[in-house]
């Protein structure tokens, strides 16, 4: 679809590891050498299957060429209409991005994790695996597409990580209003133009030092969000992280 940028989101092959800019350690190598929920069955096999399906889908779209892309709508679609239109499209976090999310969640040990944009549950599996391995915490994730809600729940169950996860169907601006605080980690990976409204909704519930991770920050539609978190007056210490289409890691220092 012409309005959706999904280039190279799944990462190159062979796998290229992520480097931890804080500790100087190779995150992927560290995760590869440790036993965790993320790297053992059944989560490992479910992630392999989902990433493979997403790669196949992306390759098929590329082979079809621009002439096979759906026609642009005559009007701008609402968030719900976009979700329904793309209910079969994976749009996953990259492999590097998923491993980074796992590492950040293990390090931060948040009691409450909030994810905006469940999709098929690939990033949710990474977050839930970290919460399980931490031995504490809960993941609240929200998705607008009812079809993807069903798929995500099935994938979480198959991966054996559904226990500490609540999937909230519906508009994040409504579903996340009731999430209990304090929130220790937030992943923003839904519609890019909603990053800032969702963050502002959650701000009163952020714990001191809470991490906010925004994916796909190279997209033009994320510019307003980036301008907000990069303005020190808004209470964030933030850094851009070079993972695929970009991630912004921000720590909440306000309150």
Torsion of CA 42, 59, 147, 130, to 10 degrees: 30
Q: What is the largest CA-CA distance in the chain?
A: 51
Does any domain span residue 78? yes
Number of domains in the chain: 1
Residue length, the chain?
255
Does residue 171 surpass a pLDDT of 90? yes
Asked whether residue 31 carries a pLDDT value surpassing 60, the answer given is no
Least confident among 16-20, 167-171, 190-194, 229-233? 16-20
**Residue 136, domain member (yes or no):** yes
Q: How far is the C-alpha of 101 from the C-alpha of 81, rounded, in Å?
A: 29
Lowest mean pLDDT of 53-67, 106-120, 143-157, name the range. 53-67
In a domain, 2, yes or no: no
**Is the confidence at residue 21, as pLDDT, over 80?**
no
Is the confidence at residue 16, as pLDDT, over 60? no
Q: 133 or 90: whose pLDDT is higher?
A: 133
CA dist 210 and 196 (Å) reads 16
- Tokens encoding 219: 């997209």
Q: Is the dihedral of CA 189, 195, 198, 203 positive or negative?
A: positive
Residues 6+ apart with CB under 8 A from 174: none
More confident residue, 80 or 197: 197
pLDDT at residue 60, as a whole number: 67
Rounded to two decimals, the pTM is 0.79
| 136 exposure class (CB count in 10 Å sphere: 0-12, 13-18, 19+) | exposed
Q: Which helix (H) or strand (E) holds 157?
A: helix 146-159
- The answer to the question of residue 122 being in a domain is yes
pLDDT of res. 236: 98
- Report how far Cα 34 is from the mean position of its chain's Cα atoms: 23
DSSP state of 67: G
DSSP 149-191: HHHHHHHHHHHT--TTEEEEES-HHHHGGG--S-EEEEEE-S-
Domain containing residue 247: CATH number: 3.40.50.150
**Tokens linked to 91:** 């749009």
Given a contact cutoff of 8 angstroms between Cβ atoms, the answer to whether 1 and 57 are in contact is no
The Cα–Cα gap between 103 and 112 comes to: 16
In a domain, 38, yes or no: yes
Range of the structural domain that residue 111 is part of: 22-255
Instruction: Identify the band that residue 5 occupies on the pLDDT scale cut at 50, 70 and 90.
Output: very low
Lowest average pLDDT, out of 9-13, 29-33, 48-52, 211-215, goes to 9-13
Q: Greater confidence, 203 or 64?
A: 203
Reported confidence tier of residue 41, pLDDT bands at 50, 70, 90: very high
In a domain, 197, yes or no: yes
- Answer yes or no: is pLDDT of 27 > 50: no
How, if at all, do strands 165-169 and 236-241 pair? Answer: unpaired
- What is the reported pLDDT for 29? 44
Share above pLDDT 90 across residues of the chain, in percent, rounded to a whole number: 62
More confident residue, 158 or 85: 158
Per DSSP, the three-state class of 209 is: strand
Q: With 50 as the cut, is the pLDDT of residue 133 above it?
A: yes
Element (H or E) spanning 129, and its range? helix 122-134
Other C-beta atoms lying within 10 Å of the C-beta of residue 105: 26
Residue range 172-179: average pLDDT?
Answer: 95
Distance of CA 83 to the CA centre of its chain: 16
What confidence score (pLDDT) does residue 149 get? 93
Whether residue 40 is contained in a domain is answered as yes
């Amino acid at each position: 679809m012409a309005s959706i940028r999904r280039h190279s989101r799944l990462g190159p092959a062979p796998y290229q590891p992520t480097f931890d800019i804080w500790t100087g350690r190779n995150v992927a190598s560290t995760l590869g050498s440790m036993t965790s929920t993320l790297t053992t069955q059944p989560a490992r096999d479910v992630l392999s299957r989902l990433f493979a399906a997403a790669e196949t889908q992306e390759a098929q779209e590329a082979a079809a060429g621009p002439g096979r892309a759906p026609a642009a709508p005559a009007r701008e679609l609402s968030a719900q209409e976009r979700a329904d239109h793309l209910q079969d499209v994976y749009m996953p976090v990259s492999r590097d991005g998923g491993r980074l999310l796992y590492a950040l969640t293990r390090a931060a040990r948040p009691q409450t994790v909030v994810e905006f944009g469940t999709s098929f549950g690939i990033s949710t599996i990474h977050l839930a695996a970290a919460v399980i391995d931490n031995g504490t915490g809960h993941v609240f994730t929200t998705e607008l597409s009812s079809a993807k809600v069903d798929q995500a729940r099935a994938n979480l169950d198959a991966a054996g990580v559904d226990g500490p996860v609540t999937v909230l169907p519906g508009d994040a601006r409504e579903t996340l209003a009731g999430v209990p605080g304090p929130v220790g980690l937030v992943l923003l990976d839904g519609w890019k133009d909603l990053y800032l409204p969702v963050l502002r909704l959650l701000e009163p519930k952020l714990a001191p030092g809470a991490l906010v991770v925004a994916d796909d920050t190279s997209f033009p539609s994320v510019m307003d969000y980036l301008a907000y978190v990069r303005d020190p007056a808004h209470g964030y210490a933030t850094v851009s992280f070079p993972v695929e289409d970009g991630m912004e890691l921000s720590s909440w220092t306000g309150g």
